[in-house]
Chain A
Amino acid sequence: MTVLRDARERRVRTGGIELCVAELGDPSAPTVVLIHGYPDSKEVWSEVAPRLAERFHVVLYDVRGHGRSTAPRPLRGGFTLEKLTDDFLAVIDAVSPDRPVHLVGHDWGSVQAWEFVTVRRTEGRVASFTSMSGPSLDHLGLWIDKRLRRPTPRRVAQLVGQGAKSWYVYALHTPRLPELAWRGPLGTHWPRLLERAEKIPRGTYPTASLPRDAAHGAWLYRDNIRPRLRRPRRDAYAHAPVQLITPLDDAFLSETLYDDLDRWVPQLTRRTLPAKHWIPRTRPDRLAAWITEFVTSVEGGRPDASPATGKYADRFGGQLVLVTGAGSGIGRATAFAFAEAGARVVAVDRDAEAAARTAELSRLLGAPRSWAETVDVSDEQAMEKLAAKVAAEYGVVDVLVNNAGIGLGGSFFDTTPEDWKKVLDVNLWGVIHGCRLFGRQMTERGQGGHIVNTASAAAYQPSKALSAYGTSKAAVLMLSECLRAELAGQGIGVSAICPGFVNTNITSTARFAGVDAEEEKRRQKRTARLYGLRNYPPEKVADAILRAVVRNEAVVPVTPEARGARLLSRLAPGALRAIARLEPPL
Chain B
Amino acid sequence: MATAVNSELSVELSGFRRVQQLAYACAEAVAARLEPGVTEREAARMQRVWLRERGVKDWFHLPFAWFGDRTAFVNFRVPLQFFPTDRRLEPGMPFILDMAPVYEGFTADIGYSGSLGINPVQDRLMADLEAHRELILREVRERRPLREIYEDVDRLMVRQGYANRHRAYPFGVIAHKVDRVRERRWSPHLFGFGTQSLKGLAADALHGHREGWSPLWSRYRFSDHPPRPGLWAVEPHLGFRGTGAKFEEILVVTDSRDPEQSAFWLDDDLPHVRRWAEEK
Contacts and interface: CB of A to CB of B under 8 A. Distances in A.
Interface of A: 328, 332, 336-337, 340, 354, 357-358, 361, 364-365, 505, 532, 535, 537, 539
B163 A358 contact: no
B166 interface: no
A293 B120 CA distance: 23
A537 B120 contact: no
Nearest to A361: B161
Contacts of B120: 364
Given A336-B241, A364-B121, A539-B241, A357 B163 contact: no
B267 to A, nearest CB: 31
B120, B154, B158, B241: residue with the most chain A Cβ atoms closer than 10 Å: B241
Given A358-B161, A361-B161, A505-B158, 17 more contacts: A328-B158, A328-B159, A332-B161, A336-B161, A336-B241, A337-B241, A340-B241, A357-B161, A361-B240, A364-B120, A364-B121, A364-B124, A365-B121, A532-B219, A535-B167, A539-B163, A539-B241
A357 B124 contact: no
A539 B241 CA distance: 8
Contacts of B121: 364-365
Given A336-B241, A340-B241, A532-B219, A361 B159 contact: no
A328 B162 CA distance: 10
A287 B272 CA distance: 46
Contacts of A505: 158
Contacts of B167: 535
Q: Shortest 5 CB-CB distances between A and B: which pairs?
A: A361-B161, A364-B121, A364-B120, A357-B161, A364-B124
Nearest to B121: A364
Contacts of B154: 532
Contacts of B187: none
27 contacts: A328-B158, A328-B159, A332-B161, A336-B161, A336-B241, A337-B241, A340-B241, A354-B159, A357-B159, A357-B160, A357-B161, A358-B161, A361-B124, A361-B161, A361-B240, A364-B120, A364-B121, A364-B124, A365-B121, A365-B241, A505-B158, A532-B154, A532-B219, A535-B167, A537-B163, A539-B163, A539-B241
Contacts of B241: 336-337, 340, 365, 539
B68 to A, nearest CB: 12
Contacts of B160: 357
A354 B163 CA distance: 15
Interface string B121-148: 1001000000000000000000000000
Contacts of B161: 332, 336, 357-358, 361
A361 B121 CA distance: 8
A85 to B, nearest CB: 39
Contacts of B159: 328, 354, 357
Nearest to B123: A364
A535 B121 CA distance: 24
Nearest to A310: B241
A358 B159 CA distance: 10
A357 B157 CA distance: 12
Contacts of A357: 159-161
A535 B219 CA distance: 13
Interface in B197-225: 219
A537 to B, nearest CB: 7
Residue from B158, B163, B240 having most chain A Cβ neighbours under 10 A: B158
A529 to B, nearest CB: 9
Interface string B155-181: 000111101000100000000000000
B246 to A, nearest CB: 18
A535 to B, nearest CB: 8
A332 B124 CA distance: 17
A450 to B, nearest CB: 22
Contacts of A328: 158-159
A535 B165 CA distance: 12
A532 B163 CA distance: 12
A520 B240 CA distance: 31
B168 to A, nearest CB: 11
Contacts of A535: 167
A523 B130 CA distance: 32
A395 to B, nearest CB: 25
A539 B160 CA distance: 15
A583 to B, nearest CB: 23
A328 B219 CA distance: 21
Contacts of A365: 121, 241
A584 B147 CA distance: 25
A228 to B, nearest CB: 40
A435 to B, nearest CB: 27
A466 to B, nearest CB: 23
Contacts of A354: 159
B25 to A, nearest CB: 31
A328 B157 CA distance: 11
Interface string B216-254: 000100000000000000000000110000000000000
A539 B162 CA distance: 11
Nearest to B124: A364
Nearest to A336: B241
Contacts of B219: 532
Nearest to A538: B163
A354 B160 CA distance: 8
B121 to A, nearest CB: 5
A553 B236 CA distance: 39
A505 B154 CA distance: 11
A426 to B, nearest CB: 20
Nearest to A528: B151
A332 B162 CA distance: 10
B159, B160, B167, B219: which has the most chain A beta carbons within 10 Å?
B159
A337 B161 CA distance: 13
Interface string B98-121: 000000000000000000000011
Contacts of A532: 154, 219
B198 to A, nearest CB: 27
Contacts of A539: 163, 241
Nearest to B219: A532
A51 to B, nearest CB: 32
B32 to A, nearest CB: 25
Which of A328, A337, A357, A539 neighbours the largest number of chain B CB atoms within 10 Å of its CB?
Answer: A539
Contacts of A336: 161, 241
A365 to B, nearest CB: 7
A537 B73 CA distance: 14
A365 B120 CA distance: 9
B104 to A, nearest CB: 41
Contacts of A332: 161
Contacts of B163: 537, 539
A130 to B, nearest CB: 28
Nearest to B74: A539
A572 B124 CA distance: 50
